[in-house]
Structure 1
Amino acid sequence: MTDVDRDISFLIPGAPVDLTNCEREPIHIPGSVQPRGVMIAVSDPDWIVQQVSANLADLTGVPWQRAIGRPLAEVLGVAAAGAVVRSASAFGDLRERNPVEITLDVDGDPVPVDALLHRALIEPGHPVADGHGEPVADASTVPPQSSLVVELEPARGPRPFSFPNTYQAVRSTIGDLNRASSLQELYDITAEAVRRLTGFDRVMVYRYDADYNGEVVAEAKQEDLNSFLGLHYPASDIPAQARALYEKNWIRLISDVDYTPVPLHPVDHPVSGRPLDLTYSALRSVSPIHVEYLHNMGVRASMSISLLREDKLWGLIACHHYSGPHAPPYATRAAAEFLGSTLSVRLIDRASDDEHARALESRSTLAWLTAAALDEDRPLTDTLLGTPNLLGLLPADGVVVHLQGHRGALGAALPPGLTERITDWAARRSEDVVASDALPVAEPELGVPVEPACGVLVLPLPEGQFVLWFRGEAVRHVDWGGDPSNKAIAEQEGDDVRLSPRKSFERWRETVRGRSEPWTASDVEAATELRVHLLEALYARSRSIVRAAETLQRSLLSDPPEPPHLEVAVRYVPAAREAQVGGDWYDVFEQPDGSTMLIIGDVVGHDTEAAATMGQLRGLLRGIAFDNAAGPAEVLTRLDTAIEGLHLTTMATVLVGRLEQSPADCDAGIMRLRWASAGHLPPLVAAPDGTQRLLEANRPGLLLGVDAALPRTEQETVIEDGSTLLLYTDGLVERRDQVFDDGVEELAEALADLRRLPVGPLCDRLLERLLPDGAEDDVALVAVRIRPQEC
């Protein structure tokens, strides 16, 4: 490390010396490397040496002073340099092709070496110099450039396996991970496999919580070592900037904690005038504070492998060796990194499956409660506390409901007067959802006992109405590896103050009291959506049931989004009958990847029951389709499965479409529509020149709710810019005096005639032209115009 890293010059003047100082340590630019290998930075693409580590001669026989400013071939030899240059000149990520296996000629002896390559971006910071330090350009006129960083590690002994065969080395473990039935089994398999592969004395799977405190959730170790399983470690043990490096460089090895750092020469890169960024370096020297931390644990060598979820660090595979230095070769490390990546993918898959199942269950309960709320003959309170009920929506020890003068409760009971104190406090906060998992601590003036209302979630509603869930205290015992509150890490050395990590790692038990189980983001989301439906139900119940159902349906058929490349309009026209509701619906929403989902459907029936069923289907379908890479056919298949699994007795037609565009499609002025139909009418497309197409499926699909076992098919078509896509229900084209084919032909002609209108007026004119006397049946419309855009 540089002298900057050995003192506390990165501290804020006058600030106390504690663990927060570590978070300001510039660990990505240490100016030195570990001595197990050699680092060379060369200009790209002329391959002139710009920086080298001081131990260059130990591996190549060439003193570092003679290497600066010379071609790479004069330092490594023509053959070895040629192999490096060929790999560096190929397309793609250099790190995916590591290592480059080369052989150096040192005094006539062949030395096998693994060359690890990556590029570092260099921002000119002062007049750019040549290899001899002479200025050749003004930095302000020089664009950013890159240096090729070449790290050389001796490949001592027989290679355990070549890098291309990494998968073979872990093949059986991958199979075990695929068959794992629980998260704990995934953790245990990975820990044991990494230890068997790398030979470390101890391998741990280390998982972070929301505050980046870590917990050892799996361990494989020598029998004579004490166990760390279940121990927690504070977030300060791994500062934020170290976690940021773990997200970029997924593996880090310290082969000997007693190493002496090898400086780079020159200290600053000749182009940037600043230390070389070693974020992606395998040899990067580590913080002396971390080295001392490892010494305090009795560790002689360590390795860590990042575990990521959506590019964010959620944990580590931490490897410790106690008997001496330990340096697994690069191919072994790569295989271990591959196992870490595989574990990350499996964890994401399992978490996504669990979240999907929870979301389906929650949405089903919510949809049922929403639909049941339409029954005016039953008080809302009885509906919410029946079967299913609010404790099925949000797990809690109890729930109290006060709506329209009716009060009811389920589960544990609250002391007299406590309900009013809590709900009055929540109402004063003027928030839609008020939640706390430590109410006695957060609001001591309320006098709330930890049992049974340590945690509360409240929906304040108009006129003093409310829904209140509550949870009792959840006493937890947390075993820490040392006292996490001990943050004093400054030591006096003569006249100097030196940072020093903590030394105690004895098991230290903390009892956490005064908190309930926390309310999760999904809990708050479900409560928020319930509040919307309750407000709609309360408003609707002040009028007739017909008016109530109509309001609910219109609240579900919300205005669509309008991305820059699309012009979207939607319409819903109820049939001319007393109950202005039915089972027709539409939905339009954007996916996180930029595609747009288009949905239109029609539940069998024309009454409030059909509207309630429509609400269930719409909620389930949106939950299944959103943030899901599955195609429309798979979405319908999953919806069929959900209908069968949740025992919903319904039948409906529905069409699911997905509008998407690749960069190549954008250049070509087109979009792609993928769609699947469950017995619904085919979409219509009108091109800018007026030609029309009816997008009929190769095989008509069965209605939803008929047979979940039958597979769904998917279609794809190209739609050019300026075209108009129309989705509709049968009320627009079928009447007592007109058959379907004639109605579709009339609709296609009208769409072509009106294609130049904006899509909103176009929908209105279509309805006027095709239904001059009003609708005999419900009608839903979705019209989409493809706008040309700059790519």
Structure 2
Amino acid sequence: MTSLDLISQIKARIATLTDPELATSDLTLTSCDREPIHIANVIQPHGVLIAFAEDNRVILQVSDNSEAFLGHTPEDILGKPLLMLLSHEQIESVLSCANADFEQVSILRLTLTIGWTSQCFECLVHRSDSVIVLEMERSIQHPEMNAFDFYKCVKAPINQLQGSHSIAQLSRQAVMAIYEITKFDRVMIYRFDEDGSGHVIAEATSEGTEPFLGLHFPATDIPKQAMELYRLNSLRIIPDALAKPVVLKPSLNPITGKPLDMSLSGLRGVSPLHTEYLENMGVRSSMSISILRDQQLWGLIACHHHVPKNLAYEARTNCEFLGQVLSLQVGSKVDAEDLNYKMKLQTVHNRFVNTVAICRTLGDGLKQNPTDLMELTGSSGVVFCESTKIESFGDTPPHSTIEGLLKWVDQTIGEDAIYSTSTLVTDYPEFLPYKNVASGLIALRISRAQQIYLLWFRPEVIQTINWAGEPTKSTGIDTGKGQRIAPRKSFDLWKEAVQLKSLPWKACEIEAALELRSSIIGVVLQKSDELALLNTELERSNIELDSFAYVASHDLKEPLRGIFNYSTFLLEDYGTQLGEDGNHKINTLMRLTQRMEDLINSLLHYSQINRTELNFQPVDIGVLLENVLDMFAVSQPGDIDFQIPRPLPIVYCDQSQI
């Protein structure tokens, strides 16, 4: 197939496609997040858009204002080679830009001869699906500043941003710098909260412009898909929100059969909802610069003007550059603040774990330093639960309420180890009476089998939030077919008192709780290892004791038997010659040797304690005491006077143990 045949096929395909129609009237109050703003099929009228195939460089789609910018109608150039508009060198430059970064937008300046005049265009080049998109705007010369002046405008603010010590100072310096460059009526920094809402943390305004500093805006003001486009595009400008949009021809890409994805397009048309939103705010022109942290949208630099306003490309790029510097500085400041706090928590964690490690039980470790345990998560109270045992420190709910809370936590977290909330009273209404101490909760399960938990609590913090208009007020218009979504019409100050909430838990505080669980489990395992070593050592000692007992019972008994036998022979052969005193001493010697043998037998039996059963039998304590007194009479004769005032009982016991 020749290139001419392919061009003919593309022309035939284009002829079958229709122009787009905006269907915003069907958007309902619940479908704002589904508005397909990335495939608007329209552009703003201050530029022209061309989409062409990379392989044969044939023009596939073009905006309907091509004649005003390029001197050719869409019908003239659709299906034609791009060479009809650009030179070979210019086309190669465009392709080079498209190949530079497949995920980003590249910039280019082209000079074209339109009719008999040369015109300079600022161009953006990016890929979309299987085509290359070329967007062109006529160059604007700033009436007051040249390129060197712009450099001077940026150099000083960058130095100031680098020297800022806080997010607040950083934001103030950034809005002042962009205000001086752009001369917009309002320049503000809008920081997003975790729930998608945001608030204005810095602002610079012209005289007579209503200030928004300190106001909060609900998450519904910027739908999710719009936030994603802000993340992808670092700068977005709308010179005139009320300007009539320009459609693309044809409405569908001839190759894909789908609308052109304009996510990376700088000229992308303005959503009718956003146009109405700006009009309600009294804004005719706007510019937004994204502030990213870790590739996620942290905030926006929003610029507003009451009348139509376009900016020279040098001014835009300088503002975009400042936004990128601001993003780096914000990331650095936030990371530094997080790191300092994490280091503090780590110090507390180490100190607490060291205390627990030297204590007999976890409960004992908690009692040693409960302040560290609370400081670990920034809580005001903590409860330790082990089976039915409950111990509390700081400000906590009554013990009688904890069992019910634990049952609810178990059902809520399932197999997870942790649960956190700053709206405990809303989630678990039974705790409403205890909101002053328990509006926030981190529940940490250490052992499910042994029912060991740690519960951290935070009190209620009542806040007053200043909203730009009532955030929950309906924004629908009745069309007879249901409500059509419409932007808010009022941005007047509206105060909301937020109750039944604690301060939110930081991610690093939740991580600290999980790390504590790991450390506690590690300590338990360490103690288990130590116990195993002790058992091994005890087993070795028992073996040595058995060996010693055997030696004692065998080797020591033999001399004793000899002494006893020879004493017996002595009495039998020479008893009449020894006299009464001699016979008494020989008899005492025999009793002592017998007692010594009994002690050796007891030692052998004692070495087998816990490995043999106790031998219970009647034992005469009086006889036992006489044996002991005999030993004292020999070792210390006459030094001790023993008196037994009454007969001693017979007890039932193991004689070797006494």
Change (3 A) 1:109 1:475: same
Distance 1:308 1:408 in 2: 45
1:210 and 1:379 map into 2 onto residues whose CA distance is: 35
1:483 corresponds to which residue? 470
Does 2:176 align with 1:189?
no
| Deviation at residue 528 of structure 1 after TM alignment | 2.2
Report the CA distance between 1:96 and its aligned residue.
7.6
User: What per-residue deviation string (whole Å, max 9, x for no partner) do you get for residues 400-437 of structure 1?
Assistant: 34669997654335446345554565466665334332
Counterpart residue type for residue 29 of structure 1: I
Unaligned runs of 5+ in 1: 12-16, 123-146, 552-573, 579-791
1:728-747 matched pairs, under 5 angstroms = none
Matched, 1:173 2:157: yes
Tell me if 1:270 matches 2:254. yes
503, 510, 520: which one pairs with 1:517?
503
Q: Aligned partners of 1:367 and 1:113: how far apart in 2?
A: 62
* Distance in 2 (alpha carbons) for counterparts of 1:167 and 1:388: 54
Aligned counterpart for 1:306 among listed residues 274, 290, 312: 290
Q: Deviations over 1:305-357 (max 9, x none)?
A: 112222222221111111x1111122221221111121111111222222222
Q: Percent identity?
A: 33
Counterpart of 2:502 in 1: which secondary structure?
Answer: coil
Residue aligned with 1:28, SS: helix
Is the 8 Å Cα contact of residues 19 and 250 (structure 2) preserved in structure 1?
no
Task: Confirm or deny: 8 A CA contact 2:20 2:247 kept in the other structure.
Answer: no
Partner residue in 2 for 1:350: 333
RMSD (Å) for aligned C-alpha atoms: 3.4
1:578-626 deviation per Cα after TM superposition (whole angstroms, max 9, x unaligned): 9xxxxxxxxxxxxxxxxxxxxxxxxxxxxxxxxxxxxxxxxxxxxxxxx
Residues 213-252 of structure 1: CA distance to partner in whole angstroms, max 9, x if unpaired? 1111111111321211111111111111111211222211
* Residue 75 in structure 1 maps to residue 85 in structure 2: yes
Indicate conservation of the 8 Å contact 1:539/1:548, yes or no: no
CA gap of 1:473–1:158, structure 2 versus 1, over 3 A, is closer
Match of 1:104 in 2: 112
Q: Which stretch shifts more, 284-293 or 426-435?
A: 426-435
Q: Is the 8 A contact 1:187 1:205 kept in 2?
A: yes
User: Is residue 251 from structure 1 mapped to residue 228 from structure 2 by the alignment?
Assistant: no
Partner amino acid, structure 2, of 1:445? E
Q: Deviations over 1:550-596 (max 9, x none)?
A: 99xxxxxxxxxxxxxxxxxxxxxx9xx99xxxxxxxxxxxxxxxxxx
Contact 2:431–2:438 (CA under 8 A) maintained in structure 1:
no
C-alpha contact (below 8 Å) 2:199/2:214 kept by paired residues: yes
Deviation (angstroms), 1:299:
0.5
Aligned length: 516
Distance 1:83 1:459, change over 3 A: closer
* Among 7, 25, 39, the residue aligned to 1:8: 25
Residue number in structure 2 paired with 1:116: 124
Instruction: Give, as a single letter, the amino acid of the residue that structure 2 aligns with 1:207.
Output: R
Q: Which amino acid aligns with 2:25?
A: I
Structure whose residues are more often helix by fraction: 2
CA shift in 2, pair 1:97/1:440, >3 Å: closer
TM-score of the pair, normalised by structure 2: 0.71
Distance apart, 1:285 and its partner CA? 0.6
> For the structure 1 residues 31 and 550, does the alpha-carbon distance in structure 2 shift closer, same or farther, using more than 3 Å as the test?
farther
Distance 1:394 1:286 in 2: 45
CA distance in 2, matches of 1:473, 1:26: 41
Q: Secondary structure at the match of 2:286?
A: strand
**Distance change >3 Å, CA 74–CA 158, structure 1 → 2:** farther
Q: Is this contact kept in 2: 1:5–1:25, CA < 8 A?
A: no
CA contact (8 A) 1:161 1:331 kept: no
1:352 maps to a residue whose letter is D
Report the Cα offset of residue 95 of structure 1: 9.2
Residue type at the aligned position of 1:67: I
Measured in 2, the distance between the counterparts of 1:301 and 1:105 equals 30
**Partner residue in 2 for 1:474:** 461
The residue type paired with residue 436 of structure 1 is T
Larger Rg: 2
1:531 to 517, 530, 540: 517
Matched, 1:33 2:33: no
Secondary structure, counterpart of 2:258 in structure 1: coil
User: Is the contact between residue 286 and residue 303 of structure 2 (CA under 8 Å) also seen in structure 1?
Assistant: yes
SS at match of 1:374: helix
Distance in 1, matches of 2:465 and 2:353, equals 41
Equivalent position of 2:584 in the other structure: none
In the alignment, is the contact (CA less than 8 A) between 1:166 and 1:334 conserved in 2? no
Greater relative contact order (Cα 8 A, min sep 6): structure 1 or 2? 2
Counterpart of 2:571 in structure 1 is none
Deviation at 1:523, TM superposition (A): 2.1
Deviation at 1:288, TM superposition (A): 0.8
The 1:495/1:460 distance shift into structure 2, 3 A limit, reads: closer
Name 1:280's counterpart in structure 2: 264
> Who is 1:44 aligned against?
54
Shift of 1:291: 0.6
What is the Cα deviation at residue 94 of structure 1? 8.0
**Structure 2 unaligned spans of 5+:** 1-17, 542-658
3-state SS of 2:417 partner = coil
Cα deviations across residues 677-722 of structure 1 (Å, max 9, x unaligned)? xxxxxxxxxxxxxxxxxxxxxxxxxxxxxxxxxxxxxxxxxxxxxx
Q: State the shift of 1:468 in Å.
A: 2.9
The one-letter amino acid of 2:22's match is D
- The 3-state SS of whatever aligns with 1:508 is strand
Any residues of structure 2 matched to 1:690-769 within 5 Å, and which? none
The answer to whether structure 1 residue 93 and structure 2 residue 78 are counterparts is no
| TM-fit CA distance, 1:74 | 2.7
Greater share of strand:
1
Q: Which residue is 1:261 aligned to?
A: 245
CA contact (8 A) 1:5 1:287 kept: no
Q: Secondary structure at 1:273's aligned position in 2?
A: coil
Question: Does 2:206 align with 1:198?
Answer: no
Q: How far 1:162 sits from its partner (Å)?
A: 8.4
Deviations for 1:348-403, whole angstroms, at most 9, x for unmatched residues?
A: 12222222222222222212222222223798445555286212211112223466
Q: Is the 8 A contact 2:141 2:312 kept in 1?
A: no
Q: Partner amino acid for 2:519? A: H
1:419 and 1:496 map into 2 onto residues whose CA distance is: 48
Residue 450 of structure 1: how far off its partner (Å): 0.8
Which residue identity lines up with residue 499 of structure 2 in the other structure? R
* Superposition deviation, residue 475 in structure 1: 0.8
Kindly indicate whether the alpha-carbon contact (under 8 Å) linking 1:255 and 1:302 is maintained by their aligned counterparts in 2: yes
Q: CA deviation at 1:203?
A: 1.1
